[in-house]
């Protein structure tokens, strides 16, 4: 078995999907976990990007169906988490409108992130390291701070926190472990980015969101493809078992091997 075949098998990606069947399967998955956990619904942070928009749509379908079936309200809570001013926050709210989300919370993380960064810099200074947090380091603080706030809200509202991880991110390890990778369940995990887009169109995600350049929003002007040096087209093709250029394949496989620790659970002995 080639490394490509091994990766595809581990991540569970299909070369082709039945969009309606995938939506149904994932809505049922969410409903099952809500029932098992005995909670009152789901919480999703809506960034304004494609992945969180699709998850919001799946969550809303799941909680609407549970409300009808159980005869009591189950919530989908959409959380918006800008760092200061977010230039595309209108897209986050457009997603909430598209799915008629009744419950919406905006929590600005800027002050909390800056305080954490300052405390970390004081800690570094105490051991003789005089520096500000790096751009990537502060980006990780943003990701983890967002999760702290999400779990604070979810605890008080008796909700599960839903993540947006999918196979194209898992392939490259393009997430912060126990930052944006710390959630209760991930309904997109066996889909690649192209397939997430197919679900988006069927669910009715706003076109402005579907057409956006993918970004994690960790710093101004950051884009996924620029950061990784590989296009999502090559990423998707690789996960669907297609042949891509040697250069792109080598980059993806090197990134996969380098980030194996991110996909692993906490090791013990």
Q: Return the CATH number at 19.
A: 3.40.50.620
Does residue 19 lie in a domain region? yes
Q: How confident is the model at residue 217 (pLDDT cuts 50, 70, 90)?
A: low
Does residue 50 lie in a domain region? yes
Does residue 14 lie in a domain region? yes
Looking at every residue in the chain, the average pLDDT score rounds to 93
Q: Which long-range contacts (CB under 8 A, 24 or more apart) does 213-222 make?
A: 214/49, 214/50, 215/49, 216/139, 216/143, 216/174, 216/175, 216/180, 217/47, 217/49, 217/83, 217/86, 218/135, 218/136, 218/139, 218/142, 218/143, 219/135, 219/138, 219/139, 222/139
The domain of 174 spans 3-109+144-263
d(CA 193, CA 180): 17
Does residue 127 lie in a domain region? no
The percent of residues above 90 in pLDDT, for the chain, comes to 83
pTM: 0.93
Does residue 120 lie in a domain region? no
Cβ atoms within 10 Å, residue 109: 19
Q: How confident is the model at residue 77 (pLDDT cuts 50, 70, 90)?
A: very high
Q: How confident is the model at residue 219 (pLDDT cuts 50, 70, 90)?
A: low
So what's the pLDDT on residue 214? 66
Does residue 139 lie in a domain region? no
Select the highest-mean-pLDDT range: 34-38, 83-87, 213-217: 34-38
Q: How confident is the model at residue 40 (pLDDT cuts 50, 70, 90)?
A: very high
The percent of residues above 70 in pLDDT, for the chain, comes to 94
Sign of CA dihedral 132, 135, 140, 145: positive
So what's the pLDDT on residue 222? 60
Number of domains in the chain: 1
Active site residues: 51, 169
d(CA 8, CA 20): 22
Rounded mean pLDDT of 105-124? 98
Does residue 58 lie in a domain region? yes
Does residue 156 lie in a domain region? yes
Q: Using the predicted structure, report yes or no on whether residue 136 has a pLDDT greater than 60.
A: yes
């Amino acid at each position: 078995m080639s490394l490509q075949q091994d990766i595809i098998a581990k991540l569970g990606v299909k070369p082709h999907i039945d969009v309606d069947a995938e939506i149904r399967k994932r809505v049922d998955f969410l409903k099952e976990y809500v029932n098992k956990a005995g909670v009152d619904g789901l919480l999703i942070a809506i960034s304004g990007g494609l992945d969180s928009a699709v998850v919001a749509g799946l969550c809303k379908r799941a909680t609407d169906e549970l409300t009808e079936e159980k005869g009591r309200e189950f919530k989908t809570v959409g959380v918006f988490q800008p760092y200061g001013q977010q230039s595309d926050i209108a897209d986050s709210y457009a997603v909430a409108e598209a799915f008629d989300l009744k419950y919406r919370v905006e929590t600005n993380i800027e002050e909390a992130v800056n305080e954490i960064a300052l405390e970390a810099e004081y800690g570094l200074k105490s051991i003789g390291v005089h520096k500000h947090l790096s751009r990537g380091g502060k980006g990780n603080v943003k990701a983890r701070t967002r999760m702290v706030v999400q779990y604070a809200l979810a605890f008080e509202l008796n909700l599960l926190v839903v993540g947006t991880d999918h196979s194209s991110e898992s392939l490259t390890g393009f997430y912060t472990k126990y930052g944006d990778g710390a959630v209760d369940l991930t309904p997109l995990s066996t889909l690649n980015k192209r397939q997430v887009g197919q679900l988006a169109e069927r669910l009715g995600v706003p076109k402005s969101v579907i057409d956006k350049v993918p970004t994690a929003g960790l710093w101004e002007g950051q884009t996924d493809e620029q950061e990784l040096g590989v296009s999502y087209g090559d990423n998707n093709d690789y996960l669907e078992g297609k042949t891509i250029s040697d250069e792109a394949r080598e980059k993806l496989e090197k990134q996969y091997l380098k980030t194996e620790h991110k996909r692993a659970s906490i090791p013990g002995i």
